[in-house]
Chains A and B, each alone.
Chain A
Amino acid sequence: MFDFSIISKWFHSLLTGFIPEWLAIGIECLIVLLFIIILYAILAIALIYLERKICAFFQCRIGPNRVGKWGLLQVFADVFKMLSKEIIKMRQSDKLLHDMAPFFVLLASFLTFACIPWNKGLQILDFNVGLFFFIAISGIGVIGILLAGWASHSKYPMIGAMRSGAQLISYELSIGMTMLTMLLLCGTMQLSEIVQQQADYGWNIVRGHVPAVLAFIIYLIAGNAECNRGPFDLPEAESELTAGYHTEYSGMGFGFFYLAEYLNMFICGAMAATVFLGGWSPIYFPGLDGFNTVMGYIPGFVWFFGKAFFVVFLLMWIRWTYPRLRIDQLLSLEWKYLMPISMFNIILMALVVCFGLTL
Chain B
Amino acid sequence: MAQTIIFLILAVIILGCGILAVTTKRIMHAATYLMFVLFGTAGLYFLMGYTFLASVQVMVYAGGVVVLYIFALMLTGRQDKKDNHSVSLAKKFAALVATLCGAGLFLFIIVSHRFAENMLTAPSEQTTSVKLIGQQLLSSDKFGYLLPFEVVSILLLACIIGSLIIARKR
Contacts and interface: CB of A to CB of B under 8 A. Distances in A.
Nearest to A136: B59
B41 interface: no
A354 to B, nearest CB: 17
A16 interface: no
A169 B67 CA distance: 9
Given A128-B130, A135-B59, A150-B74, A94 B28 contact: yes
Contacts of A22: 1-2, 5
A25 interface: yes
Interface in B39-83: 51-52, 54-56, 58-59, 62-64, 66-67, 70-71, 73-74, 78, 80
B67 A139 contact: yes
A26 B70 contact: no
Please report whether the interface of chain B is mostly helix, strand, loop or mixed according to DSSP: helix
A136 B74 contact: no
B70 A189 contact: no
A318 B70 CA distance: 32
Interface string A10-35: 00000000001110011000000000
A128 B58 CA distance: 16
A2 B40 CA distance: 37
Interface in A87-135: 94, 96-97, 100, 127-129, 132-133, 135
Contact of B32 (A20, A100, A149): A100
Interface residues of A, number: 33
A306 interface: no
For B62, B70, B78, the residue with the greatest tally of chain A CB atoms inside 10 Å of its CB is B70
Contacts of A265: none
Contacts of A132: 52, 55, 59
A143 B36 CA distance: 12
A187 to B, nearest CB: 10
Interface in A132-185: 132-133, 135-137, 139-140, 142-143, 146-147, 149-151, 153, 158, 161-162, 165, 169
Interface in A224-247: none
A9 B100 CA distance: 53
A22 B66 CA distance: 34
B125 A128 contact: yes
Given A128-B125, A132-B55, A25 B67 contact: no
B129 interface: yes
B145 to A, nearest CB: 19
A151 B54 CA distance: 29
Contacts of A146: 67, 70-71, 74
A225 B129 CA distance: 33
Contact of A140 (B29, B52, B62, B129): B62
Nearest to A96: B29
Contacts of A94: 26, 28-29, 80
Given A94-B26, A132-B52, A150-B28, A142 B2 contact: no
B11 to A, nearest CB: 17
Contacts of B55: 129, 132-133, 136
Contacts of A97: 28-29, 32
A189 B133 CA distance: 14
B35 interface: yes
Contact of B63 (A20, A136, A158, A162): A136
Nearest to A187: B131
A19 B52 CA distance: 32
Nearest to B57: A136
A21 B62 contact: no
A26 B26 CA distance: 37
A150 B70 contact: yes
B133 to A, nearest CB: 10
Given A96-B29, A97-B29, A143 B70 contact: yes
A153 B78 CA distance: 10
Interface string B17-35: 0000000001011001001
20 contacts: A20-B1, A21-B2, A22-B1, A94-B29, A96-B29, A127-B51, A128-B129, A128-B130, A133-B54, A133-B55, A136-B62, A137-B58, A139-B58, A139-B63, A142-B63, A150-B70, A151-B28, A158-B74, A165-B67, A169-B67
